[in-house]
Chains A and B, each alone.
Chain A
Amino acid sequence: MSDLTPIDDPLAGPYFQAARQGRLVVQRCNACHALRWPPLSGCPECHSRDTAWVDVAPSGTIWSFVVYHRAFAAELKSQIPYTVALVELDDGPYMVGRVIPGPKPPAVGDRTIAEFVETSGVPSVHWRIA
């Protein structure tokens, strides 16, 4: 996943550093306290650039999901079929992540719990169906 993963990106880096420690974090504006995800270089609500990274509950609900049967990038070939979900976090923001294969296929509305998985040295949040 190295080509696609912005692990050293100044904007997204803190997410990966937290995931490595088993924490789920998003951005919060220090001026108006709005949470935001994906990360942005400033707050779209009040335009403050004073930003903190804060822990959020590692749980949410599947808004939707897709199953890739085709690898659109060489590094994904060994991983198909794989499932990606858009999860609505209990704390508000939407987050895209892999779904960990389980005993039953995922469904819209399923409750999910974050797990922190390191693949080829890249930590990220995956979702297990609760």
Chain B
Amino acid sequence: MPRRLGGSVAVVGIGHTVQGELPDLTAEQIAVDAARAALADAGLTRTDLDGLISCKSVQGDGGDVATGKLLGVNLPYVQTLDYGTCNFSLHLAVGAIHAGLAETILLTYGANARSRKVDFGAPVYGVDLAEAAGLVHIAGRAGLALQRHKALYGTTDEQFGMLAVGQRQWAAHNPNAIFTKPLSMEDYLAQPYLVAPLRRADITMISDGGVAIVVTTAERARELRQPAVYISGIAEHAGIRGEHNPENLMRPWLREAAGAIWAATGLGPDDIDALYIQDPTALWSLQMLEYYGFCGLGEGGPFLAEGHTLPGGRLPLNTHGGQLSESYTWGWLHVVEAVRQLRGQAGERQLDAPAIAMYCSSHGFVKAAASILATSPDVGR
């Protein structure tokens, strides 16, 4: 089980580029633009850094060496992750800070998959037999899991559609969001299936963009210009046997990450004021709401239908619009939004003084991660 962190590490800077289309920029240029914004937000410069954790895009751009050249830094601690969602980068930074490898670490992510017209129908994990049968694009596997959920638990299109419809409601108040046009349930249900039972609105649209985050010790954080947002606890679990796991598309191993994060913080679902779930498809949110215990297993449909995750509900979910309505950026902006909400800087969509936020993500159908962030260093102590 992860150790109690007790707010020993904090997020002190957040930054991002415009989300959408950034033609003529490389992934590393986009990452550097985001890094400049995050450092400015923290009131730091690159000379204050002693660590860099860069995240590769799906296309393999954004390695630490390529990013470091453009940033113009030599540092005591540098690392690259080949998978995203920001959670894994954040956790690596916590570990590095606790080990004393670095004190102030910049996390970067940049991608230009839209302008590069990357083919997301192409096999992701190399040619395989499932793809040979036409099971291509993430919508295929997500659709299989949703269809199974519908058959087991009676989940309806209207219940599941609450995710896409709700995300658009939140995005309406986010100037950074790509999709802000209202989406009613009637509009949603009128959309044709893309990969039944999934519609277009259930799946993220690829966009270009960059995000960067600055993480440091709680002691250092208190000297900086922004209100510190403390990391109260982290947990991960990997189902890396992948499709050789029974029922793998239901991602039963999410339950292990959930058990670990609650045990590591002493918190429970009722303590969470704002929830962030990385959502390349809406299925991710349905599964994680259940496994992390915000509702019972199989009860996600009725839970969503009751409106708890919408603006005004008791469990605000992805208050920026998430990957379905804000942008593709692989979960990174979920952390940015959680920090904004906890700082009280979320503008028109600001919640009423949230104290604890949670971010859950997964890397495809193999890895799960969760973090809890709070305004007080005493949470999770």
Contact call B193/A4, Cβ cutoff below 8 A? no
Render B334-353 as a binary contact track against A, CB cut-off 8 A, 1 for contact: 00000000000000000000
Contact call B151/A69, Cβ cutoff below 8 A? no
Residue from B135, B143, B193 in contact with A96 in the complex, judged by beta carbons closer than 8 Å: B135
In the complex formed, the residue of B with least CB distance to A126 is: B133
Contact call A69/B193, Cβ cutoff below 8 A? yes
- Does A101 touch B at the CB level, under 8 Å? no
Q: Classify the interface of chain A: helix, strand, loop or mixed.
A: mixed
Render A69-107 as a binary contact track against B, CB cut-off 8 A, 1 for contact: 111110010010010101000000010111000000001
The number of chain A residues touching the other chain, given as a range, is 35 or more
Using a CB-CB cutoff of 8 Å, which residues 114-130 of chain A contact chain B?
Answer: 122, 124
Contact call A4/B132, Cβ cutoff below 8 A? yes
CA–CA, A99 to B72, complex, Å?
Answer: 55
Contact call B133/A96, Cβ cutoff below 8 A? yes
Render A9-23 as a binary contact track against B, CB cut-off 8 A, 1 for contact: 100100100000000
- B243 to chain A: which residues have CB within 8 Å? 38, 94
CA–CA, A19 to B127, complex, Å?
Answer: 19
In the complex formed, the residue of A with least CB distance to B152 is: A108
Using a CB-CB cutoff of 8 Å, which residues 96-128 of chain B contact chain A?
Answer: 119-123, 127-128
B138 CB, nearest partner CB in chain A, Å: 10
- A36 to chain B: which residues have CB within 8 Å? 244
Residue from A5, A39, A67, A94 in contact with B132 in the complex, judged by beta carbons closer than 8 Å: A5
Contact call A98/B134, Cβ cutoff below 8 A? yes
Residue from B129, B148, B195 in contact with A6 in the complex, judged by beta carbons closer than 8 Å: B129
Render B247-264 as a binary contact track against A, CB cut-off 8 A, 1 for contact: 001000000000000000
Total residues of chain B contacting the partner, CB 8 A = 36
Contact call B134/A68, Cβ cutoff below 8 A? yes
Contact call B133/A109, Cβ cutoff below 8 A? no
In the complex formed, the residue of B with least CB distance to A76 is: B134
Using a CB-CB cutoff of 8 Å, which residues 18-69 of chain A contact chain B?
Answer: 36, 38-40, 44, 63-69
- B198 to chain A: which residues have CB within 8 Å? 66
Residue from A4, A68, A82 in contact with B131 in the complex, judged by beta carbons closer than 8 Å: A4
Render B128-171 as a binary contact track against A, CB cut-off 8 A, 1 for contact: 11111111110110011101100110000000000000000000
Render B193-204 as a binary contact track against A, CB cut-off 8 A, 1 for contact: 111111000000
In the complex formed, the residue of B with least CB distance to A68 is: B195
Contact call A68/B133, Cβ cutoff below 8 A? no
- B132 to chain A: which residues have CB within 8 Å? 1, 4-6, 122, 124
Contact call A72/B151, Cβ cutoff below 8 A? no
- Does B241 touch A at the CB level, under 8 Å? yes
Contact call A64/B133, Cβ cutoff below 8 A? no
A71 CB, nearest partner CB in chain B, Å: 8
- B134 to chain A: which residues have CB within 8 Å? 1, 4, 68, 76, 79, 82, 84, 98
- B122 to chain A: which residues have CB within 8 Å? 73
Residue from B119, B151, B192 in contact with A109 in the complex, judged by beta carbons closer than 8 Å: B151
Contact call B143/A66, Cβ cutoff below 8 A? yes
- A97 to chain B: which residues have CB within 8 Å? 133
CA–CA, A6 to B127, complex, Å?
Answer: 7
**Given known contacts A67-B195, A73-B122, A86-B144, A124 and B151 CB-to-CB distance under 8 angstroms:** no
Contact call B130/A70, Cβ cutoff below 8 A? no
In the complex formed, the residue of A with least CB distance to B147 is: A64
| 30 A-B pairs in the complex with CB atoms less than 8 angstroms apart | A1-B134, A4-B123, A4-B131, A5-B132, A6-B127, A38-B128, A38-B129, A38-B130, A38-B243, A38-B244, A39-B129, A64-B144, A64-B147, A64-B148, A64-B249, A65-B144, A66-B140, A66-B144, A66-B195, A67-B196, A68-B195, A69-B196, A70-B194, A76-B136, A84-B144, A96-B129, A96-B133, A98-B134, A107-B151, A124-B133
Chain A residues with CB under 8 Å of chain B are 1, 4-6, 9, 12, 15, 36, 38-40, 44, 63-73, 76, 79, 82, 84, 86, 94, 96-98, 107-109, 122, 124
8 closest A-B pairs (Cβ-Cβ)? A72-B121, A108-B151, A66-B143, A96-B130, A64-B148, A67-B196, A64-B144, A5-B132
